[in-house]
Structure 1
Amino acid sequence: MRMRSEHKLYDDVNLTPLMDLAWNLLIVFIIMATATVQGITVDLPRASAAPSMSKPKTKAVTVTADGRIYLDTALVSIGELEMRLRQYKAADPDLPVVVKGDASIQYYKVIEVLDVMKRLQITQLGLVTDRLVK
């Protein structure tokens, strides 16, 4: 007489426990990845307490409501503006300049200043505006 074995072959595989394991590993990985990014400590260099002696490189040209032109804080004529910017450009060929014009000025005053920038071939030029608040 032949004994029947209690072991039988399965013709399908239950994937639910495997998917549960993969899901749990994914959650643990996400938590650990975000925890390690936030917890990085770096020994930052210390800045000296002495004030910096170098002046900022960017020059600001301002055209006021009454048409006056300022280079940084000095009142200049259009000719003086060109002369001084030419000197700064000779010292630093990549001289950055920002132009600030009052909203109520006549358009030609800003164009006059932009023409100076074009003649001097100042390519790093920015126009300062206020943010539009709705």
Structure 2
Amino acid sequence: MDVRADNQPYDDINITPMLDLAYVLLVTFIILTTASVQGVKVNSPATTAQNNLAKPQTRAITVTADGALYLDAYPVTLDELRNRLADYKAANPALPVVLKGDTAAQYDVVVQVLDIAKRLDIAEIGLVTTRAK
């Protein structure tokens, strides 16, 4: 048992180093979990345009090669997409949306998604592409 200079035993524990470690672990966990982007893997078309689409509360709509729709990695129908986007738009009037379409996606489905966005007055919509090499 450690004894102080005045021969009194310690009756408290210094928890500062333990809190420092907890904060470091918390920050590391936050960085690692937000670094991964959720979504459905598609083969995006190539473009030379620069895009910066990182915005808070951005919703991702994905159209796969077979015409399936996903909203934030969850499969939806056109009606479900319209209803969910209307709910998100009611909560955030400046709702940003990105549209990820496979190069072999059905053009009609992409146009229907853009039509839904237009009817809901979603002005901030971006198209996800890959950079041409």
Q: TM-score, normalised by structure 2?
A: 0.59
Give CA deviations for 1:58-101 in whole Å, capped at 9, x if unaligned. Answer: 00000000100000010000000000000000000011000001
1:123 aligns with 2:123: yes
Deviation, structure 1 residue 49: 2.4
1:20 paired residue number = none
* SS of residue paired to 1:86: helix
- Percent sequence identity is 52
Alpha-carbon distance in structure 2 between the residues aligned to 1:108 and 1:130: 21
Q: TM-score, normalised by structure 1?
A: 0.59
- Tell whether 2:41 aligns with 1:64: no
Bigger Rg over Cα: 1
RMSD over aligned Cα atoms = 2.1
CA distance in 2, matches of 1:108, 1:48: 47
> 4+ residue runs of structure 1 moved beyond 4 angstroms?
none
Bigger fraction of residues in strand: 2
Question: CA 1:94–1:47 in 2, change beyond 3 Å: closer, same or farther?
Answer: farther
1:25 paired residue number: none
Matches within 5 A, 1:1-134: 49=26, 51=30, 56-133=56-133
Contact 2:57 2:96 in 1 (8 A): yes
Higher RCO structure (Cα 8 Å, ≥6 apart): 2
Distance in 2 (alpha carbons) for counterparts of 1:88 and 1:74:
15
